[in-house]
């Protein structure tokens, strides 16, 4: 996993509390107190999962609320960091279905690796009225991804419902999101 998400989580915690809360999150997650994440480095996905759970405890907030708020924070950061990515797409469905490629391209640049050599974190399947997003095992938690997709939908002013499905019969997949656009395929 790119260090971008853990780094943004540290920034998010600091924006909600202070620098001391970041140290507390690291400690609660069982990580070194002074751990700093670089966006151009690769880290274990388990670190992010532990950090996200610890952030809820450190901020004294419900884990679901922290996850939802953090996902919106990440989307806002991505819009500021890579505005051209979001301007390239006419709507949420277009962006969502290209998100695996966008993520791999960004990861390849940041990690200085061939995009084809990077393991897929997300897979998307386009159906007539739906997009199914398969969450790769070890990727961002499904709740976070669902909240991120919701932020994308709101950003474009689109309408869709999101259903989280646990597990999958696809190899290397920990769960899936079914985004029902409730409209024609040209959306």
Domain map (residue ranges) of the chain: 4-61, 75-180
The pTM for the full model equals 0.82
User: pLDDT tens digit string along 139-157?
Assistant: 567 788 889 899 999 999 9
What is the fold of 75-180? H-NOX domain (3.90.1520)
Q: Residue 25 has which token pair?
A: 């999150």
User: pLDDT tens digit string along 54-103?
Assistant: 999 999 888 889 989 999 999 999 889 888 888 889 999 999 998 888 87
Confidence check: pLDDT of 185 > 50:
no
Confidence check: pLDDT of 187 > 50:
no
Q: What does the pLDDT read at residue 87?
A: 86
What end-to-end distance do the CA atoms of the chain give, in Å?
Answer: 31
């Amino acid at each position: 996993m790119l260090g971008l998400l853990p780094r943004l989580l540290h920034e998010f915690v600091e924006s909600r509390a202070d620098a001391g809360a970041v140290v507390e999150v690291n400690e609660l997650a069982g990580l070194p107190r002074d751990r700093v994440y670089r966006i151009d480095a690769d880290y274990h996905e388990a670190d992010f999962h532990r950090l996200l759970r610890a952030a809820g405890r450190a901020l004294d907030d419900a884990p679901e609320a922290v996850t939802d708020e953090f996902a919106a924070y990440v989307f806002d950061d991505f819009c500021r960091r890579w505005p051209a990515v979001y301007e390239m797409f006419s709507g949420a469905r277009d962006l969502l279905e290209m998100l695996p490629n966008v993520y791999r391209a960004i990861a390849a640049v940041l990690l200085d690796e061939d995009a084809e050599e990077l393991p897929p974190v997300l897979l998307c399947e386009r159906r007539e009225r739906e997009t199914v997003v398969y969450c790769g095992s070890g990727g961002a938690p499904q709740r976070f991804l669902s909240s991120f997709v919701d932020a994308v939908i709101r950003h474009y002013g689109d309408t869709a419902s999101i259903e989280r499905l646990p597990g999958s019969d696809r190899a290397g997949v920990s769960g899936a999101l079914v985004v029902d656009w409730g409209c024609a395929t040209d959306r």
